[in-house]
Amino acid sequence: MAEIKVQSSKKYDSNKWRKIINTTQSNYANMIKRLSRKQKISNLVLIYYSIFLIVNTLTGKYFPQYFNTELSEYFGIILSVVMLAYSLINNSSNYAVRISDIEESLNQLKTIKRSLSEENLDECISEYNKVADSTERREDVDFFITVKHLCREFKINWFTKKRKKGEEGWQQDEDAEEHRNQEKVVNDYISEINVLIEEGKIVFEFIWEAILFLIPILVFILCIISSTSGLKINIK
């Protein structure tokens, strides 16, 4: 899918196209980071849960007086289902192939940007569109992270879309017009996405990952406490 497709008839100059390519490069870099993170988390969950299930089973077998085996077996089944789900997701997502493809596209964009000039602008635009068309489309969260980087660079609050207080000195600089133009571009970018939803996705993902890694520990502690406290749970 195309990332940003603009025909040369719009008369964007090479500087404008260099900024467009920079934005696309940032999107691709964010995609690589996101997919790499998901791949690592999925693999880590599989290893972590496999080790836990082994420890859980052995503890119940050799220390039944200190461990609630019925509760342990119950949660063991549930966590096995979680492992199966992550295994299926990991296999169907093809993270390694997708990451490799995006890295190749990112390198192609770098090559295009290095050779970009007014003389070969149309050729570079054509090459850019080919790369964008053949590359996996970025998700809104990838673009949101790119926008946040631009907001930090130009001292713009991504939530209010306004320049941060105490950062107005640029208005007296010789580059003031360039700053204003870039600020307008950044605000246009912000308007393309729901920043609260995208920020919520990022926060939720971190919380979900924390929960995934806490669950086995909590289950293990619960099995010990329920056994030592004399609590009996019959699951039939």
| Residuewise pLDDT in 10s, the chain (236 residues) | 445 554 443 568 888 899 999 999 999 999 999 999 999 999 999 999 999 999 999 999 999 999 999 999 999 999 999 899 889 988 899 999 999 999 999 999 999 999 999 899 999 999 999 999 999 999 999 999 999 998 988 888 888 887 776 655 545 555 667 677 777 888 888 888 999 999 999 999 999 999 999 999 999 999 999 887 655 555 44
* pLDDT given at position 109: 96
Are 103 and 220 members of one domain? yes
What is the domain extent for residue 24? 11-137+212-228
* pLDDT given at position 215: 95
Are 16 and 102 members of one domain? yes
Are 178 and 82 members of one domain? no
Are 121 and 22 members of one domain? yes
Q: What's the Cα-to-Cα distance from 70 to each of 10, 78, 176, 224, rounded to whole Å? A: 70, 13, 70, 12
* pLDDT given at position 8: 44
Number of domains comprising the chain: 2
Are 178 and 99 members of one domain? no
* pLDDT given at position 153: 85
- Residue 2 belongs to some domain of the structure: no
Q: What's the Cα-to-Cα distance from 77 to each of 42, 71, 102, rounded to whole Å? A: 19, 10, 37
- Residue 65 belongs to some domain of the structure: yes
Give the residue carrying structure tokens 């570079």: 124
- Residue 233 belongs to some domain of the structure: no
Are 46 and 79 members of one domain? yes
Contact 195, 159 (CB under 8 A): yes
Are 71 and 125 members of one domain? yes
Measured CA to CA, the distance from residue 66 to residue 51 in angstroms comes to: 20
DSSP string of 188-228, one letter each residue: HHHHTS-HHHHHHHHHHHHHHHHHHHHHHHHHHHHHHHHHH
Are 115 and 188 members of one domain? no
